[in-house]
Amino acid sequence: MYKILKKKELNPTVTLMEVDAPFVAKKAEPGEFIILRVDEEGERIPLTVADFDREKGTVTIIFQIVGGTTERLNQLREGEFIHDFVGPLGEPSHVEGLKKVAVVGGGVGCAIAYPVAKKLHKLGAEVHSIVGFRSKDLVILEEEFRAVSDEMRMMTDDGSYGKKGLVTDALRELIEAGNKYDEVIAIGPVVMMKFVSLLTKQYGIRTVVSMNPIMIDGTGMCGCCRLTVAGKTKFACVDGPDFDGHEVDYDEIMKRASTYKEFEKRERELACNLFKKEVK
Q: Which residues are documented as binding site for FAD?
A: 62-64
The dihedral over CA atoms of 189, 193, 194, 196, expressed in degrees to the nearest 10, equals: 140
Pick from 31, 87, 105, 109 the residue near another protein by CB under 8 A: 87
Q: What residue type is assigned to position 84 of the chain?
A: D
Site string for another protein, 14-43 (x = CB under 8 A): ---------xx--x---------x---xxx
Q: Which is nearer to another protein, 7 or 37 (CB)?
A: 37
Tell me the chain's radius of gyration from C-alpha atoms.
18
Annotated binding-site members for [2Fe-2S] cluster? 222, 225, 237
Which H or E run contains 68?
Answer: helix 68-75
Number of residues that bind another protein (CB under 8 A): 40
Binding-site entries:
62-64, 222, 225, 237
- Residue 69 CA, chain-centre distance (Å), reads 17
Helix, strand, coil fractions of the chain, as percent rounded to 5: 30, 30, 35
Options 79, 99, 159, 260; binder of another protein; rule CB under 8 A? 260
- Alpha-carbon span 109 to 106, nearest angstrom: 5
C-alpha 272/C-alpha 22 separation (Å) is: 32
Should residue 269 be labelled a site residue for another protein when binding is judged by CB under 8 A?
A: no
Instruction: CB nearer to another protein: give 179 or 219.
Output: 219
x/- letters, 178..217, toward another protein (CB under 8 A):
--------------------------------------xx
User: What is the nearest approach in angstroms of another protein to the Cβ of residue 222?
Assistant: 4
Least CB distance to another protein at residue 198 (A): 21
Q: Which amino acid is at 148?
A: V
Burial of 272 (0-12, 13-18, 19+ CB in 10 A): middle
Residues that bind another protein (CB under 8 A): 23-24, 27, 37, 41-44, 68-69, 83-89, 216-217, 219-224, 226-228, 233, 238, 249, 252, 255-256, 258-260, 263-264, 267
